[in-house]
Amino acid sequence: MVTTVTTATSAVLSAASAASLTLLVVLLLIALLINKEIFSILPGGLAKRLSRALNVTVIPLAIVFAITLVIQVVDALR
């Protein structure tokens, strides 16, 4: 009985932490994309370099977002 409750509780907590991690990734991606657009508008070499440097974080987060989206769609279609 205790094992069943522990397993069920772990599954619920795991799903909740996955959802909160997904939300964190999406919010971080939005914030970085906003900063990238602001830096690309500003004049000057430093702003352009910062805009390009943000690609280092934006591209992997966009890939994680796309994978999460595909998993959610596939799960919803089942």
Residues with Cβ < 8 Å from 43, sequence gap 6 or more? none
Tokens encoding 24? 């964190």
pLDDT of residue 15: 66
What band does 31 get if pLDDT is binned at 50, 70 and 90? very high
Q: What is the pLDDT of residues 7-29, one digit of tens each?
A: 555 565 566 677 777 788 889 88
Helix axes 45-53, 55-77, angle to 10 degrees: 30
pTM of the predicted protein model: 0.67
